Amino acid sequence: MSTTDGLHGQMLDAVGADLASGELTPGAVLSIDRLEQRYGVSRTVVREAVRVLEQLGIVRSRRRVGVTIRPAAEWAALSPYVIRWRLAGPQRLDQLREIGELRLGVEPLAAALAATRANPEQRATLVTAAGGMLVTGTQGDLTTYLEHDVRFHTTLLEASGNAAFASLSPLVAEALSGRTRHDLMPPKPLPEAIRWHRDVAEAVTLGDAEAAERTMRLIVAEARDAVDPR
């Protein structure tokens, strides 16, 4: 990769993989020089990446001490970076379960709010995305299905008119992508799950908050249960 932004992003993903695999553990202390050598990047790139990791609560950088890995409980649990890295490691199912529980508390209410607050463009996007899920899901085209699925859920959160809910869109998108990326989806999505997305889009279009909330709860519960090891 040729750009500094690309290189520091590449280093972040490499650090994330090492954190997820246990190669880097809480309490470990690394110098800037060692980080340069470990990831094969310049000091400038290391400093940019460390700055991001500090913002995420993953490391603490101190002069004459180095870069210390902080306990996982102190990391920014809602960061798409952290979610992506945990999904790539042995904590994958735990991460999906946690996100599923969060979504269950948020998305049904977001659907109810969207039924009263969505604008015409958002309603049309939900209907189109649900239709795309039907076509691509039936074909077993999981890559394109995911694109429609992400568009559906991010639009729904935005249509809630609640900025806090809308801010969770990247998190939900990362969780949805993780299921596909790590082969946790069936070869073809469940027909009832596809139908429920269509029903939510219809309920939002009709302004039926109760139906939108009830059906969205079915969608999120099914996704949570599909990856819950218990």
What is the amino acid identity at position 153? Answer: H
Residue 189 pairs in a beta bridge with: none
**Cβ-Cβ contacts under 8 Å for 128 (sequence gap 6 or more):** none
Highest mean pLDDT: which range of 86-90, 100-104, 115-119, 176-180: 115-119
pLDDT(2) > 50: no
Distance from C-alpha of 4 to C-alpha of 200, rounded to nearest angstrom: 43
Separation between Cα atoms, residue 38 and residue 33, nearest integer Å? 9
pLDDT, tens digit, for every residue of 18-59?
988 889 999 999 999 999 999 999 999 999 999 999 999 999
Sequence-ordered list of residues with C-beta below 8 angstroms from that of 6, at least 6 positions apart, any chain = none
Q: What is the pLDDT of residues 167-202, one digit of tens each?
A: 999 999 999 998 898 888 889 999 999 999 999 999
SS3 string, 155-207, reads HHHHHCCCHHHHCCHHHHHHHHHHHHHCCCCCCCCCHHHHHHHHHHHHHHHHC
| Cβ pair 226, 178 in contact under 8 A | no
| Strand 59-62 relative to strand 29-30, pairing | unpaired
Structure tokens at 146: 């995911």
Note whether 59 and 65 are within 8 A (CB): no
